[in-house]
Amino acid sequence: MTVLIADDDPLVREVVRRYLERDGMTVRETDDGPSTMAALTDLGDEIELAVLDVMMPAPDGIEICRAIRSGPRPELPVILLTALGDEDDRVLGLEAGADDYVTKPFSPRELALRVASVLRRTKTVRDSDAPVLRDGGVEVRPAFRLALVDGTPVDLTPREFDLLVFLLQHPQQVFSREQLLAQVWGWDFGDLSTVTVHIKRLRAKLGERHRIETVWGRGYAWARTGNGATDA
């Protein structure tokens, strides 16, 4: 696994690199926006996850995250490092397409665990022999990490994809934000707005074909339409 660490603080890069290498990962480092964009282009598919500092010299982490989501590898997992503790700023990062964020100052061990969690879940779904999931105009092929709406591929971030798969696998079941955080993110704790933002983004990308219902006071559920068949 190769992880790109983009941060203008050399101490942060060094500490994070040590922890990730201890976990058996290969680390590439950049210290500003232009070098990060160049690395993402030059290294291509070698990079399997990017950790981006929100406040590094422009283009900053949020701008680069947006560029990734609109570029040739929109599925690339992204974790943002931010010194901004305000919830609105964290939501801004999630709405830009980040799969996760860690607020500075942070525990390097926690960041390493977040990186491992994102990579593990992405690989598990990709390598699984999970059946194709269909409901109405929505079709998901977990083995290929491909989502389609009315036959047209939809660009989803890894977390959005995992969330959609989970909901489709548990139709009409209501899950609280805490339960979704545990089941999809693999976290026992965390900012519940992370789930809220991902639900909002998923609804927007699926358009009128989404069946994500808000169950007042309880959480969210995918309500099946048609026969909702699950195909092998």
pLDDT tens digits along 144-159 = 778 999 989 898 888 8
User: Which pair of structure tokens corresponds to residue 223?
Assistant: 């309500």
pLDDT in tens, 177-213: 999 998 998 877 777 888 999 999 999 999 999 999 9
Instruction: State the DSSP code for 147.
Output: E
Nearest Cα to Cα of residue 218 among 189, 184, 179: 179
User: Which pair of structure tokens corresponds to residue 43?
Assistant: 């290294």
Q: Average pLDDT for residues 63-85, to the nearest whole number?
A: 86
Which pLDDT score, from 0 to 100, does residue 28 have? 96
Note whether 37 and 29 are within 8 A (CB).
no
User: Which pair of structure tokens corresponds to residue 6?
Assistant: 């983009």
DSSP characters over 84-149? ---HHHHHHHHHTT-SEEEESS--HHHHHHHHHHHHHHHHHHHHS-PPEEEETTEEEEGGGTEEEE
Note whether 90 and 61 are within 8 A (CB).
no
> How far apart, in whole angstroms, are the C-alpha atoms of residue 58 and residue 33?
5
Please, how many CA atoms are within 13 Å of residue 93, restricted to the half-sphere of its CB? Answer: 27
Which pLDDT score, from 0 to 100, does residue 95 have? 82
The total number of residues shown for the chain amounts to 232
Strand order in the sheet with 138-141: 152-153, 146-149, 138-141, 132-135, 230-231
In percent, the amount of the chain with pLDDT more than 70 equals: 90
pLDDT in tens, 10-34: 999 999 999 999 999 999 999 999 9
